[in-house]
Amino acid sequence: MHLATLFTLPLLAAAVPTAPHLVQGQQGQVVFSGAGAGAAGSASSGIKIDLDLDDLRLVQFGEREPPVWITELEKIEAKAKGRRFMDITETPTLGLTSFLTPASAKYTYPKPGKYAKEVKEIYKSLSVEHMKTFLKKFSGFKTRYYRSDTGRESQLFLLGTLREIARNYPEVTIKEFEHPWAQNSIIVRFPHSGPKDAPVVVVGAHQDSTNMWPFLPAPGADDDGSGTTSSLEAFRALIGANFTAPFPVEFHWYSAEEGGLLGSQAIAKSYEEKGIKVRAMLQMDMTAWVKEGTTESVGVIQDFVDPALTEFNWGLVEAYLDIPPVKTQCGYACSDHASFSKAGYQSSFAIESRFEDSNKNIHSTSDTIDHPEFSFTHMREFSKLAIAFAYELSIAKSDK
Ligand SMILES: *[C@@H]1O[C@H](CO)[C@@H](O)[C@H](O)[C@H]1NC(C)=O
């Protein structure tokens, strides 16, 4: 890997910070120009980020590719170029335990649709107005970049919202999962009636956002404000139903997905180390966009996921949602489910559409709610998916 040779980046810490603009270089290369932010830099927009561009990071670009040491700056360049990766600097041994001692059997999943009455009762309290109110504020932070001041502020706003929603249900725990950077991940957990070590059902989304150049504003309304909001509204509805089940249900809001799945890897690693069993994990990353001229549907990702769980999700969409599922792919390490897969857990991923029809405004200042194709009712379908997923997998007996 000689990424440095692929790009030209005039980055002078002493230069006056001006807004960089991306230009298309020769052979489709992405070139930053006019950037002037260095370590712990602050762009003219007033965004404060604690990031050392010279910091060396261990990064993996493919399942069978050996990890390589590159700088933070080279990592940003690779991302700008559309390359997908996991930054494994802090979690180089993620998945080692399951690799050395593979589980004797995988979880199998029930036939979806058995709890139509109960699940649809919970759907009644889903509110597009709640979702709008939350996401307007959440996408109003200048950036939710995981190493930024406002990334921490947006996380505290999410935390406060969760505490407010669950204020009359104290058995639900709401915890920050701390990281070495400013923005913590958040884990909420419903009480369960089964054995103490009953396997967990996890619904995930990532709370952080980024601009292609992290020192610039990043509203991140769709990526992944939408998934964060879809799961938040599912959580609200389950709280309203005083939900509890034999298996524990957790909602995770990861920090630093945009840094190379850093937050979810740290959590998956901690679960692996503690021997926490995970029955199933569903990631929702981008749930709002319905491209003009396409049929509104749920993209069920088929690559780098658990096939049985993916088939189960397909059935959930057919049984519970108002729109059909559609098969699609997104490549290596395209969202936080990959961290759980790597840890040896069965994980899955649902996205707003076929991957090729998804929102092209992400990682820019244009990723806002102000587009005709940005749909809150589409986001609500994903809240329904999350509720059905949580309900069926925590109520139904495990076949493992
Ligand atoms: C949930 O529990 C609270 C407090 O015990 C109660 O007031 C409320 O009616 C319950 N809601 C439902 C839907 O059962």
Query: Would you place residue 367 in the very low, low, confident or very high pLDDT band (cuts 50, 70, 90)?
Result: very high
Helices marked H in 275-375:
307-320, 337-342
| pLDDT (tens digit per residue) in 140-190 | 999 999 999 999 999 999 999 999 999 999 999 999 999 999 999 999 999
| pLDDT (tens digit per residue) in 197-223 | 999 999 999 999 999 999 999 999 999
Which residues line ligand 1 at a C-beta cut-off of 6 Å? Answer: 168, 241-242
* pLDDT value at residue 31: 44
* pLDDT value at residue 9: 34
| pLDDT (tens digit per residue) in 238-296 | 999 999 999 999 999 999 999 999 999 999 999 999 999 999 999 999 999 999 999 99
Among the residue ranges 33-42, 127-136, 226-235, 324-333, the one predicted with the least confidence is 33-42
* pLDDT value at residue 2: 39
| pLDDT (tens digit per residue) in 90-119 | 999 999 988 888 777 899 999 999 999 999
Q: How far is the CA of 241 from the centre of ligand 1 (A)?
A: 7
Phi, psi torsion values for 376, nearest 5 degrees: -75, -30
Beta strands in the chain (DSSP E): 21-24, 30-33, 56-60, 68-71, 86-87, 173-177, 185-189, 200-206, 249-254, 278-284, 298-301, 325-328, 347-351
C-alpha torsion angle, residues 160, 165, 168, 174 (rounded to 10): -50
Residue type, 119: V
Looking at ligand 1, which atom is closest to the CA of residue 168?
A: 4
Looking at ligand 1, which atom is closest to the CA of residue 242?
A: 1
Q: Do 74 and 2 contact (CB within 8 A), yes or no? A: no
From atom 4 of ligand 1, which residue's Cα is the shortest distance away? 168
* pLDDT(10) > 50: no
Among the residue ranges 39-43, 121-125, 236-240, 273-277, the one predicted with the least confidence is 39-43
Q: How far is the CA of 243 from the centre of ligand 1 (A)?
A: 10
* pLDDT value at residue 211: 97
* pLDDT(374) > 80: yes
Looking at ligand 1, which atom is closest to the CA of residue 241?
A: 13
From atom 13 of ligand 1, which residue's Cα is the shortest distance away? 241
* pLDDT value at residue 6: 32
* pLDDT value at residue 25: 41
Q: Do 47 and 148 contact (CB within 8 A), yes or no? A: yes
Q: How far is the CA of 127 from the centre of ligand 1 (A)?
A: 19
Q: Cα separation of 313 and 372, whole Å?
A: 28
Q: What mean pLDDT is reported for the chain? A: 90
> With a threshold of 0.85, does the pTM exceed it?
yes
Query: Would you place residue 44 in the very low, low, confident or very high pLDDT band (cuts 50, 70, 90)?
Result: low
| pLDDT (tens digit per residue) in 58-69 | 999 999 999 999
From atom 6 of ligand 1, which residue's Cα is the shortest distance away? 242
> To test the ligand 1 pocket, which listed residue (122, 171, 242, 243) has its Cβ within 8 A of the most ligand atoms?
242
* pLDDT value at residue 397: 72
Q: How far is the CA of 239 from the centre of ligand 1 (A)?
A: 9
What structural domains and CATH numbers belong to the chain? 3-87 (no CATH), 96-395 (3.40.630.10)
| pLDDT (tens digit per residue) in 282-336 | 999 999 999 999 999 999 999 999 999 999 999 999 999 999 999 999 999 999 9
Q: Cα separation of 337 and 98, whole Å?
A: 16
